[in-house]
Structure 1
């Protein structure tokens, strides 16, 4: 029985220091509408999301269309880089990807974030076997999850993601079958 997980990286957001409450920008809202249009073609059964507002807003349209509530999964939240802002975000990300067990003070290593995200993904696969599930999440965590199933999804892959972006991961039971990008097919 095949299960399809549609990982949706959130659309562009307006920066605020409030990670949980950061909303989509005007462009992000327009792109979230395109996400809904695209996902309407995919026979979606369930919508799950990170608790962060920007992730929820990006998948809200498909949930509304289905008449479903978004199921919040705390472990789909973005990884925390550090307690305080880092001086050079790109360099910090490169360092984290170079050493999966390294973390900045108060932050989460790639290994820890990946473990959390993969555990959440496996729980979703178990609970919604045979369904098409939309997962509203974040770029870094999404790539860490994908990397677990296929090592070619790495730092360079993360760098080329767009906001939003959508990847369909197909599974037979808990066994990864394939991944393909579906964003941009309108």
Structure 2
């Protein structure tokens, strides 16, 4: 019988915008919602916690790491996709353009194809090394959906647009094949 590996992708909670991508912390609401993430994951028998190196992603999974008394392993492949070297004047149209053309990248930014490859590489390595485990992964909306879209094309731009902040999706794998996706309910209110 094949062991199932369950990856709980956790899109970070709300953060107040600053240009410091790496150090931007959760907002007051985000910190409260992060407690709800920990509560929701408490019964899932999480055996390992991994996160993007960005502070807001780390802070969103800190509660579950404390709950199970494990350090958070930081993996750069789960950092948010860099859209461009400069903030986009029209973010929604810029992100749509990136989703419409998989290979397009703004100056200094990553294409969907490049960002997805980075994230999927991390996922495949996790699946190889931690078969049968239940792993929480603190990450970001765009890279999370890009990774999900690699395994199931139903996850795309429209899915990303309606994604909550925070949001938790459990992707279950048998070997390297996705067998199920389920949303973990969170009692949080939209901003």
TM-score range, shorter chain: over 0.9
Distance in structure 1 (CA, Å) of the matches to 2:187 and 2:37 = 10
Gaps of 5+ in 2: none
Moved over 4 A (4+): none
**What is the TM-score when the length of structure 2 is the normalising length?**
0.96
| Deviation string, structure 1 residues 141-176 (Cα, Å, up to 9, x no partner) | 000000000001010000000100000000001111
3-state DSSP class of the match of 1:176? strand
**Which residue of the partner structure matches residue 104 of structure 1?**
106
**Which residue of the partner structure matches residue 52 of structure 2?**
50
Say if 2:164 is the partner of 1:162.
yes
- Asked if 1 retains the 8 angstrom alpha-carbon contact of 2:36 and 2:187, the reply is no
**Which residue of the partner structure matches residue 69 of structure 2?**
67
- Asked if 1 retains the 8 angstrom alpha-carbon contact of 2:37 and 2:186, the reply is no
**Which residue of the partner structure matches residue 3 of structure 1?**
5
Distance in structure 2 (CA, Å) of the matches to 1:9 and 1:131 = 20
Distance in structure 1 (CA, Å) of the matches to 2:138 and 2:129 = 17
CA RMSD across the alignment: 1.0
> Shift of residue 185 of structure 1?
6.4
**Which residue of the partner structure matches residue 177 of structure 2?**
175
> Shift of residue 178 of structure 1?
1.1
Distance in structure 2 (CA, Å) of the matches to 1:120 and 1:83 = 24
- Asked if 1 retains the 8 angstrom alpha-carbon contact of 2:6 and 2:172, the reply is yes
Distance in structure 1 (CA, Å) of the matches to 2:54 and 2:154 = 27
3-state DSSP class of the match of 2:171? strand
Gaps of 5+ in 1: none
What is the number of equivalent residue pairs in this alignment?
186
Q: Judge which range, 11-20 or 104-113, deviates more.
A: 11-20
**What is the TM-score when the length of structure 1 is the normalising length?**
0.98
Q: Counterparts of 1:24-173 in structure 2 under 5 Å?
A: 24-173=26-175
Q: Counterparts of 1:9-20 in structure 2 under 5 Å?
A: 9-20=11-22
Distance in structure 2 (CA, Å) of the matches to 1:65 and 1:151 = 34
